[in-house]
Structure 1
Amino acid sequence: MPDDSSDITQGRARGKLSLPDRGRSPWWELSRRLLLAVFILVGTVLLVYLDRDAYHDANDPTGHVDLVDSIYYSTVTLSTTGYGDIAPVAPHARMINAFVVTPLRIAFLVLLIGTTLEVLASQGREMFRVARWRKHMSAHVVVIGYGTKGRAAVDTLVNNGIDRESIVVVDPGAAALQEAHADGLAVVTGDATRQDVLRRAGVKDANQVIITTNRDDSNVLATLTVRQLNPDVWIVAAVREQENVALMRQSGANSVITSSDAVGRLLGLSSLSPTLGSVMEDLLTYGEGLEVAERDLLVSEVGRQPQSLPDQVIAVVRDEKVYRYFDPVVTLLARGDRLIVVRPAKELPWAPRPGTHDEDLAVDDA
């Protein structure tokens, strides 16, 4: 399997939305019911053929019933056609028909009719699920490209409290469709540079869009299209080469991550200082050791210095600008500030520290 999703402009599907299956496929149910119907037919044929001397064929001078006649009789009997040319004549054969074949006939008809209704009902349920999803989907996250980076981004979102039902994947690949469905995600299959595809993903109502494929030109095109549909959405995009960062920002991305440079820096740090490299890797790995998190400021923390807080504060967000903890502008914390902290992974990254959950948040009222 390749390391990342294929080029988003290579998809042939025209933006089909598919939600993750919650049960068995209707076609699996169809196959199962057809096999059961065949089993009933074969069982009835054997029942008649083994007791063929108790039946009479009006079209045969000798009245003999062979295997072909048994198949014919079973078929027309189970389908309720009943031509009457072959009939049970012995008392026990008539009782078998009354108490064995008749229930089999009813079961056979129920299977055939029920299978048709099941397929139609499944299609109707899927249409209802899609319609309901579109009605309630807003302020969600759209992830374009479900390769290695896309899956890692989704895992991070889910591990930080984002519901899987509020994440939509856009990718043209069949493999990505299967993997995203296996992860419980809704998928729009198609070219993410097409407006109709992004509309089906609800980009107009999305809160964030994460763009991550293995080609910078595809990412730029997707960013331009997303920004055209939703001027206010927050766009995070990945680029492979540092030289494309400025172009990506000009296209409308709010945040640009350079994958090749990030990997190169980590490799260099690990080579120069294995311990520093291990710490950086720890910060980038979710669920173990240390985590980088953003949280609200508490009322009790207003007016204090960032260095005096229980959390290890590394930056302060004030008026949508990021300041390092040692910057004179944020010497004293104020209402409305948000903190970028390093904390143990066992603590919820988006929550205040344990023991402070009941305290009021220092939200700016202005």
Structure 2
Amino acid sequence: MADDSSDITVGRAVGKLSLPDQVRSPWWELGRRFLLALAILVGTVLLVYLDRHNYRDGNDPTGSVDLVDSIYYTTVTLSTTGYGDIAPVAPHARMINAFVVTPLRIAFLVLLIGTTLEVLASQGRELFRIARWRKHMTNHVVVVGYGTKGRAAVDTLVNNGQDRESIVVVDPGAEALQEAHADGLAVVTGDATRQDVLRRAGVGEASQVIITTNRDDSNVLSTLTVRQLNPEVWIVAAVREQENVALMRQSGANSVITSSDAVGRLLGLSSLSPTLGSVMEDLLTYGEGLEVAERDLMVSEVGKPPQSLPDQVIAVVRDEKVYRYFDPVVTQLARGDRLIVVRPAKELPWAPRPGTHDEDLATDED
């Protein structure tokens, strides 16, 4: 798959919600049942044809039964039509019909009726699953575009404790649909600049929206549409060019990531200082070495300077504003503060450090 190939402006929006498939391919199941039904039909035809001398055709002056008559008798018998013009006359032929053909007839009908019922039942189950999903889906995360950036964003969310069932992908591509389903994610297929598509993704009840397509104009249109549907949702959007950052913020994005500048800066740092470049890459890579995390302030940490904590504090969030650890405003930590820290990746980023698990959080409500 090409890098960031999900372009929400390509193709006509379908807006269809589909949840991860939990069973085998329906085409495989349908083909298997068709072959079984065909085997029953062919086997019964051979059984009648080989014993044709013990059958009589009431519409034939000679009463003989040929291959065409065998096929005709088999189809009307297995379908329970039973016109009665052809019938077994020998005792053993009647016994074969009673103990062999009758079970085959039942199996044939079960396959036909069972397939029909299963199709209807599967559709009903899917509708029920979608209805239940819509009923319980609130404060979820919507990811627009399932290219390289979208998949990396989802992996980061999942690795930091986000439930896969609370993530919805919006993408028009069939390949993205398959990959997202393989990752256990619900998908809305369609153009994320359309309100009906975003409504199906539950944007109005979402807590966060991540917009990661590979075109800045598509990202701007999606951001505007999302903000119109949900004025309170937190929107994180990616742009390729730095000159579009201001436009993206004006469109309603709370946080804007410039992908080309970020990659270029990392390349430059790696060229000037390979060790610094490796450290930066370590911070951006999940699961190894160092990890950047946000956590609550503990009661025992209230009143202390950020530099004195076990974690390497790099910023403090106070009253929705971010202060660097050396800012005079956060010389002493206060209740309600949140800490941006660097810690070993082996520790869960959303959990307190070892030794503080039994302590209370220093929230404003305390």
Instruction: Please give the range of the TM-score, normalised by the shorter of the 2 chains.
Output: over 0.9
- Normalising by structure 1, we get a TM-score of 0.96
Once residues 13 and 43 of structure 1 are traced to their aligned partners in structure 2, the CA distance between those partners, rounded to angstroms, is: 48
1:25, distance to aligned residue in structure 2 (A): 4.2
Deviates more, 1:237-246 or 1:62-71: 62-71
After superposition, the C-alpha distances for 1:26-47 in whole angstroms (9 at most, x for unaligned) are: 4443332222111111111122
The CA distance in 1 between the partners of 2:80 and 2:247, in whole Å, is: 72
Deviations 1:76-96 (CA, angstroms, capped at 9, x unpaired): 110111122222222221111
Answer yes or no: is the 8 Å Cα contact 1:77–1:105 preserved in 2: yes
Shift of 1:310: 1.4
Q: Residue 13 of structure 2 contacts residue 197 of structure 2 at CA under 8 Å; is this kept in 1? A: no
Residue deviations 1:148-202, cap 9 Å, x none? 1001001100110111111111111111111111111111111111111111111
Q: CA deviation at 1:362?
A: 0.6
What displacement does 1:210 show? 0.4
Does the CA-based 8 Å contact 1:26-1:118 persist in structure 2?
no
8 Å Cα contact 2:227-2:233 kept in structure 1: yes
Range 44-53 or range 120-129, more displaced: 44-53
Q: Aligned partners of 2:270, 2:52: CA distance in 1, in Å?
A: 83
Shift of 1:13: 2.6
1:317-347 Cα shifts (integer Å, max 9, x gaps): 1111111112221111111111111111111
Q: Supply the RMSD in Å over aligned alpha carbons.
A: 1.4
Contact kept? 1:3, 1:148, Cα under 8 Å:
yes
Q: Which residue of 1 aligns with 2:2?
A: 2
Deviates more, 1:47-56 or 1:122-131: 47-56
Q: Distance in 2 between matches of 1:105 and 1:276?
A: 75
Distance 1:219 1:332 in 2: 40
Q: How many residues align?
A: 366
Deviations 1:263-317 (A, max 9, x none): 0011111111111111111111111111111010111111112122111111111
Query: Do the aligned residues in 1 keep the contact of 2:55 with 2:86 (CA within 8 Å)?
Result: yes
Which stretch of structure 1 is more off in the superposition, 227-236 or 58-67? 58-67
Cα distance in structure 2, aligned partners of 1:83 and 1:196: 55
Say whether the 8 Å CA contact 1:210–1:236 is kept in structure 2: yes
* 1:244-271, Cα deviation, whole Å (9 max, x unpaired): 1111111111100000000001111111
Specify the SS of the correspondent of 2:9: helix
The residue correspondences of 1:322-333 to structure 2 (distance < 5 A) are 322-333=322-333
Whether the 8 Å CA contact 2:11–2:172 is kept in 1: the answer is yes
Q: What's the CA shift string for 1:222-248, capped at 9, x where partnerless?
A: 111111111111000000001111111
How much identity, in percent, do the aligned residues show? 91
DSSP 3-state at the match of 1:125: helix
Is the contact between residue 27 and residue 119 of structure 1 (CA under 8 Å) also seen in structure 2?
Answer: no
Which residue of the partner structure matches residue 356 of structure 2? 356
SS at match of 1:81: coil
Query: Which moves more between the two structures, 287-296 or 47-56?
Result: 47-56
TM superposition shift of 1:6: 3.3
Alpha-carbon separation, structure 1, partners of 2:6 and 2:338: 37
Query: Following the alignment from structure 2 to structure 1, what is the Cα–Cα distance between the partners of residues 354 and 109?
Result: 62
Per-residue displacement from partner, 1:108-144 (whole Å, max 9, x unpaired)?
A: 1111111111111111111111111111111111111
Cα offset for 1:54?
A: 2.4
Q: Which runs of 5+ in 1 are unaligned?
A: none
